[in-house]
């Protein structure tokens, strides 16, 4: 038998190829009334500030999770001296492992069950933390966690020159027309109507060491690795939807 010797540089290049072949899926929530118990598809319960014991809780927490702070994209977690003390679930709501709530707390897409928290914590996550949240439902008390992600995956991970955007539809009076951008700045300054995304080409800034991403350019859930997908699927969790990423398609 012959053993082919490789240089350190060749080994590193091979590792890059393996990493770049990593597959991701979309993790989102179910909107099926039979699963979440409500038909609004938006939330299963509301934060009730008036029942919080800590003074000025609404002001403090709303500022902590404000949109203006979220858009700064800071990569650090500021000290947290509060809990989400009281969330009132709708009477018909079902306590799924991803719980939809209102009003919005930017950086927190879901309140998650302890099962989900335990699984997430066993994988590589972006800069994030879990904040205790208490949900009250028909006289019973349930302990959940606000999954707060500080490190968002931003547009600097997108290769705009090789991504595909378009306007119009194939079967409509407005024919489909592709639009190309050289950079985020060009995309951001586009003054016409919003364009749709057909293909998002990922560049080397996308951290494939992570098993979960909260992407600004792919809202409505998380991107998760195949390893995390398999662990979630075998855990008999409720209210999760894991699917192939079809629109927009991701290319690495």
Give the tens place of pLDDT for each residue, 7-64: 434 433 433 333 456 799 999 999 999 999 999 878 999 999 999 998 899 999 999 9
Q: How confident is the model at residue 146 (pLDDT cuts 50, 70, 90)?
A: very high
Kindly report the average pLDDT of the chain as a whole number: 88
Pair 45, 88: CB distance under 8 Å: yes
pLDDT of res. 24: 95
Side by side, the strands of the sheet bearing 177-179 are 177-179, 164-167, 196-201, 249-251
Average pLDDT over residues 109-117: 98
Token output for 226: 């195949």
User: Is the CA virtual torsion 26, 251, 225, 79 positive or negative?
Assistant: negative
Pair 161, 180: CB distance under 8 Å: yes
Q: Between 91 and 177, where is the model more confident?
A: 91
pLDDT of res. 194: 74
Least confident of 112-116, 150-154, 210-214, 225-229: 150-154
Average pLDDT over residues 135-163: 95
pLDDT of res. 21: 63
pLDDT above 70 coverage of the chain, percent: 88
C-alpha 120/C-alpha 59 separation (Å) is 29
Q: How confident is the model at residue 133 (pLDDT cuts 50, 70, 90)?
A: very high
Which tens digit of pLDDT belongs to each residue from 171-198? 556 678 888 899 999 988 886 667 888 9
Enumerate residues 6+ apart whose C-beta is below 8 A from 226.
22, 23, 24, 25
């Amino acid at each position: 038998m012959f053993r082919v010797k490789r240089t350190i540089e060749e080994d590193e290049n091979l590792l890059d190829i393996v990493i770049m072949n990593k597959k991701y899926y979309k993790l989102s929530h179910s909107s099926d009334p039979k699963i979440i118990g409500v038909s609004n598809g938006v939330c299963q319960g509301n934060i009730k500030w008036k029942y919080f014991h800590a003074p000025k809780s609404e002001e403090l927490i709303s500022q902590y999770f404000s949109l203006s702070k979220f858009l700064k994209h800071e990569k650090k977690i500021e000290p947290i001296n509060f809990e989400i003390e009281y969330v009132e679930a709708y009477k018909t709501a079902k306590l799924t492992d991803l719980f939809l709530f209102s009003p919005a707390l930017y950086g927190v897409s879901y309140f998650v069950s302890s099962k989900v928290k335990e699984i997430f914590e066993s994988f590589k996550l972006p800069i994030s933390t879990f904040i205790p949240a208490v949900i009250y439902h028909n006289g019973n008390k349930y302990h959940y966690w606000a999954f707060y992600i500080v490190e968002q995956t931003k547009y600097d991970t997108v290769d705009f020159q090789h991504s595909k955007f378009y306007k119009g539809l194939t079967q409509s009076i407005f024919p489909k027309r592709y639009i190309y951008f050289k950079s985020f700045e060009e995309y951001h300054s586009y003054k016409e109507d919003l364009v749709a995304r057909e293909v998002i080409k990922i560049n080397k800034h996308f951290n494939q060491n992570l098993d979960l991403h909260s992407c600004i350019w792919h809202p409505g859930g998380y991107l998760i690795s195949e390893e995390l997908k398999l662990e979630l699927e075998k855990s008999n969790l409720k209210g999760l939807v894991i699917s192939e990423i079809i629109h927009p398609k991701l290319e690495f």
